[in-house]
A and B are shown apart, each in its own frame.
Chain A
């Protein structure tokens, strides 16, 4: 007599547990995936790889480029003194993993059998090439390079190395 009754209770309990498990799943899974996406969003490409490529593409004029951004004119406005606090409030929404790297940039030019003057002139042409804004300018510079080398081989050399310093979770 008691057996069917217990079986019924047992089935009800199993059903309750399954319902509860399903409910927990619907609550936890979206939270879990949201957290994963917030903290582990990966870049479409390795950001450090693109760093090295970008630096190398204008490697010989790197210092010249940085000088262009030298700050000259300064104005102080008392009303803007809270902006760092305000900025922090907004940045609280930015959840990413921060990657940190040390990068070295080395440049050199080797022309076997070339004179120091020839190397200097070639160096100057590389700089002019990196600064050129039009295709015709670049073509002219390439022509000058060939004339300067007069058949000699050249190895303009840009080397970038990087090491990871740290990775920190940027959640504030």
Chain B
């Protein structure tokens, strides 16, 4: 009995501390968001995605914020007197298809070496094949020497009876962008090639229809705009937050 009482007390204290630390980290994120919004000029109104908790009088929720284009949102923002736009990495993630869950180096008998990137959640039901239940099954890269040279890129569309291999319309790789002309598929590929080894690269695929979304244009590519001027960027918890001023 003498042992049980201190043990129970220790357990209770540990649980109390554990729950407090969880609450504190949540409060810290909310507190930092509020602190950030307080730094904005008086009367500012920031548009945020529905992932975030609304701060009364300072924020407005906007569903599917990251996938909308500048033209879609600008007049609505002006009408609601929105002064700032806030996007986080979590807002962008759902619109991307990430290829790199399975990476193969394919060596052919004609001595061609190709890296193939596949995804557990590929782009599905594309318009590239007439058969339904098709998918953008994989993306192939031919990488030259040194490994920072990209020679060729091909997207493979697959269904039960059909197969099609076509280059994507636009590619972002190693601080460069490439535009393919002629017969292409309407996708944009972003290549995370920060490692020297292509086995560690990750390919991000976005439909061309989302190329001009504010998530891609402003958050991912930092493209300049006359109406949205970069205001600040910072971490809140594990989220990378970017803020723009609406002009």
In the assembled complex, how far is the CB of residue B203 from the closest CB belonging to chain A, in whole angstroms? Answer: 10
Q: CA separation between A84 and B221, bound complex, in Å?
A: 9
Q: Which residue of A lies closest to B193 (CB)?
A: A84
Q: CA separation between A51 and B171, bound complex, in Å?
A: 22
Q: Is the CB of A83 within 8 A of B220?
A: yes
Q: Is the CB of A66 within 8 A of B152?
A: yes
Interface contacts beyond A66-B114, A80-B221: sample of 16 additional A-B pairs, CB < 8 Å, sorted by A: A13-B4, A13-B5, A50-B118, A51-B104, A68-B165, A76-B176, A77-B177, A83-B175, A83-B222, A87-B204, A89-B89, A91-B98, A100-B102, A103-B104, A165-B105, A165-B199
Using a CB–CB cutoff of 8 Å, the interface residues on chain B facing chain A are 1, 4-5, 8, 11-12, 15, 18-19, 89-90, 92-93, 96, 98, 100-110, 112, 114, 116, 118, 120, 137-138, 140, 142, 150-154, 156, 158, 163, 165-167, 171-172, 174-181, 183, 190, 192-194, 199-200, 202, 204, 219-224, 238, 240
Q: Which residue of B lies closest to A43 (CB)?
A: B120
A98 within 8 A of B: yes
Q: CA separation between A23 and B15, bound complex, in Å?
A: 9
Q: Per-residue CB proximity of A47-70 to B under 8 Å, as 1/0?
A: 110110011011000110111111
Q: Per-residue CB proximity of A31-46 to B under 8 Å, as 1/0?
A: 0000000000111000
The residue that B166 contacts in the complex, of A9, A68, A88, with Cβ under 8 A, is A68
A74 within 8 A of B: yes
Q: CA separation between A139 and B181, bound complex, in Å?
A: 31
Q: Per-residue CB proximity of A6-47 to B under 8 Å, as 1/0?
A: 100110010011001001100100000000000001110001
Q: Per-residue CB proximity of A101-128 to B under 8 Å, as 1/0?
A: 1111111000000000000000000000
Q: Is the CB of B180 within 8 A of A66?
A: no
In the assembled complex, how far is the CB of residue B228 from the closest CB belonging to chain A, in whole angstroms? Answer: 13
Known: A43-B120, A51-B138, A76-B177. A71 touches B190 (CB 8 A): no
Q: CA separation between A165 and B102, bound complex, in Å?
A: 11
Q: Is the CB of A92 within 8 A of B89?
A: yes
Q: What would 15 A/B residue contacts be, using CB atoms closer than 8 Å?
A: A58-B163, A68-B183, A69-B165, A70-B152, A71-B153, A71-B180, A76-B177, A80-B223, A84-B174, A84-B175, A84-B193, A89-B89, A92-B240, A104-B109, A107-B108
Q: Is the CB of B192 within 8 A of A73?
A: no
Residues of B with C-beta under 8 A to A91: 98, 192, 202, 204
In the assembled complex, how far is the CB of residue B111 from the closest CB belonging to chain A, in whole angstroms? Answer: 10
Q: CA separation between A76 and B172, bound complex, in Å?
A: 10
Known: A13-B5, A102-B104. A80 touches B175 (CB 8 A): yes
Q: Which residue of A lies closest to B222 (CB)?
A: A82
Q: Is the CB of A100 within 8 A of B199?
A: yes
Q: Is the CB of B221 within 8 A of A66?
A: no
Known: A51-B138, A80-B221, A94-B202. A69 touches B102 (CB 8 A): no
Residues of A with C-beta under 8 A to B5: 13
Q: Is the CB of A79 within 8 A of B102?
A: no
Q: Which residue of B lies closest to A86 (CB)?
A: B220
Q: CA separation between A106 and B109, bound complex, in Å?
A: 5
Q: Is the CB of B89 within 8 A of A102?
A: no
A3 within 8 A of B: no
Which of A20, A55, A102, A170 has the most chain B CB within a 10 Å cutoff? A55
Known: A58-B165, A73-B178, A75-B177. A66 touches B204 (CB 8 A): no
Residues of A with C-beta under 8 A to B1: 6, 9-10
Known: A80-B221, A90-B96. A51 touches B89 (CB 8 A): no
A141 within 8 A of B: no
The residue that B152 contacts in the complex, of A69, A98, A165, with Cβ under 8 A, is A69
Which of B8, B100, B101, B150 has the most chain A CB within a 10 Å cutoff? B101
Q: CA separation between A59 and B84, bound complex, in Å?
A: 52
